[in-house]
Amino acid sequence: MPPIKLTTGFVLLYAVLLVSIVLTVSLSLYNITFRQLVLASTAQESAKAFYLTDAGRQCLRYWNSQPDASHPFGVFSVAPFTNPTLGSITCGGVTINLTSAPVGNIQFTPFAFAIDGGCVQVEARKDRTTQSSANAISIVYGYNIGTVSGSTCVDATNNTRRVERAVDVQL
Listed in sequence order, the residues at least 6 apart from 132 whose beta carbon sits closer than 8 Å to its beta carbon are 73, 126
What's residue 81's pLDDT? 46
Buried b (16+ CB within 10 A) or exposed e, 59-77: bbeebbeeeeeebebbbbb
Report pLDDT for 103. 80
CA 103 to centroid of chain Cα atoms:
26
Instruction: Give the pLDDT confidence score for residue 79 in this predicted structure.
Output: 57
Q: Pick from 171, 155, 163: which is nearest to 66 by CA?
A: 171
pLDDT at 52: 94
Give the single-character DSSP code of 5. Answer: P
Chunked mean pLDDT (size 10), the chain, 171 residues: 67 90 96 92 91 93 76 65 67 86 82 91 82 72 90 85 89 70
**Which of these, 68, 168, 72, lies nearest to 123 by C-alpha position?**
168
